[in-house]
């Protein structure tokens, strides 16, 4: 399958092909829902999306490696080395992932400022463990989430001016990350991080100490439940806004994005159904449900690529 994708994308250099293969492996191993959605893209689009994911994963692995022997300074040095390599202007054929992502960035003319924004937010994770308000969290998400949506946009293609579509692409990246923040509250506490605005938590009588109590006792305190419900509604609103932009994408890309949005939004459903028991189990969408939603998206994707009718309802993938 990967061979046909690389052939469709016109990627012939053996070393580049190896880089794209490595990125696809990273996506398949770590981005289960995202990888499933990428299967709905046209074959020539998939390698570029895998490459962008691979680069983000590279940085995440530097930051989230739980080895206690890796200090923030060491992680910072490694992150800077990654940035220096990426921005050096070379082809990086000695590093498979960097070779693929630099090739993708040049091919689709993805602005280097988006990668700079991403790495800036990753550096914040070295020292910032709490966010006092929504503005501070949004500043972090500008690089960690919105930049990713904007990086992918040229690969997806648009039928509307890019400047009109961009806010919705950025919002979808933000919606995905807000979902992760809710799902992973407990896991993030292990890394001493809280990705929820402190002032909005305080409005419900919640602080880091109470969140830590929830973590230790594997249960959600009523005040924390109310605070998470409020964050949950903000995430829902973000998905609603982002959905406006899906019809602005190239028809062949709409089923993929609609499916990814539907599946990630269903994580919010699972969180709500558990009554926000995020400290005792991790919310997931079952395999059968993921395959069902992806199957509907696959039909719409085939129709879009073959000029068949019925693509305009792509946002109803779920």
* Annotated domain spans of the chain: 1-127, 133-303
Predicted local distance difference test score (pLDDT) of residue 317: 35
The model's pLDDT over 76-128, given as tens digits with 9 standing for 90+, comes to 998 998 899 888 876 676 888 999 999 999 999 999 999 999 999 999 999 99
Split at pLDDT 50, 70, 90, the class of 298 is: confident
pLDDT score for 308? 52
Q: What is the 3-state secondary structure (H, E, C) of 157-182?
A: CECCCHHHHHHHHHHHHHHHHHHHHH
Domains 1-127 and 133-303 share a fold: yes
Q: CATH for 133-303?
A: 1.10.600.10
Residue 246: name the closest of 304, 178, 181 by CA. Answer: 304
pLDDT tens sequence across 21-64: 999 999 998 887 888 889 899 999 999 999 999 999 988 888 87
Going from the C-alpha of 53 to that of each of 114, 174, 305, the distances in angstroms are 14, 16, 24
> What's the pLDDT at 119?
95
Look up the CATH architecture of domain 1-127.
Answer: Orthogonal Bundle (1.10)
Whole-model pTM: value is: 0.89
Report the distance separating Cα 48 and Cα 100, nearest Å: 8
Q: Is 163 exposed, middle or buried (0-12, 13-18, 19+ CB in 10 A)?
A: exposed
Is the model's pLDDT at 170 over the cut of 90?
Answer: yes
Residues 224-246 have pLDDT tens digits of 999 999 999 999 999 999 999 99
The alpha carbon of 50 is separated from its chain's Cα centroid by a whole number of angstroms, namely: 12
**Predicted confidence (pLDDT) at residue 318 exceeds the cutoff of 60:** no
For 39, residues 6+ apart whose C-beta sits below 8 A from its C-beta are 46, 294, 298
């Amino acid at each position: 399958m990967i061979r046909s994708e690389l052939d469709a994308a016109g990627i012939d250099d053996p070393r580049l092909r190896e880089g794209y293969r490595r990125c696809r492996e990273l996506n398949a191993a770590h981005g289960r829902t995202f990888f499933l959605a990428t299967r709905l893209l046209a074959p020539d689009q998939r390698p570029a999306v895998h490459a962008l994911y691979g680069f983000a994963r590279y940085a995440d692995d530097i930051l989230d490696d739980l080895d206690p022997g890796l200090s923030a300074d060491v992680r910072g040095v490694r992150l800077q080395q990654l940035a220096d390599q990426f921005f050096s202007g070379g082809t990086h054929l000695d590093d498979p992932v960097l070779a693929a992502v630099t090739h993708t960035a040049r091919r689709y003319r993805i602005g280097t400022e988006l990668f700079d924004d991403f790495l800036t937010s990753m550096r914040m994770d070295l020292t910032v463990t709490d966010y006092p308000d929504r503005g501070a969290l949004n500043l972090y998400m500008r690089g960690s989430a919105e930049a990713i949506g904007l990086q992918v946009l040229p690969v997806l293609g648009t039928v509307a001016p890019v400047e009109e579509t961009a806010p919705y692409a950025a919002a979808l990246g933000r919606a995905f990350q807000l979902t992760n923040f809710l799902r992973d509250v407990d896991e993030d506490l292990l890394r001493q991080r809280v990705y929820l605005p402190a002032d909005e938590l305080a409005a419900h009588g919640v602080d880091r100490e109470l969140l830590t109590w929830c973590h230790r006792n594997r249960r959600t305190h009523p005040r924390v439940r109310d605070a998470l419900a409020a964050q949950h509604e903000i995430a829902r609103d973000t998905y609603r806004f982002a959905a406006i932009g899906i019809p602005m994408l190239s028809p062949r890309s709409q089923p993929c994005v609609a499916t990814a949005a539907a599946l990630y939004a269903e994580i919010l459903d699972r969180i709500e159904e558990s009554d926000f028991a995020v400290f005792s189990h991790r919310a997931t969408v079952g395999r059968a449900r993921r395959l069902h939603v992806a199957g509907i998206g696959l039909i719409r994707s085939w129709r879009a690529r073959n000029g068949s009718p019925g693509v305009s309802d792509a946002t109803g993938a779920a």
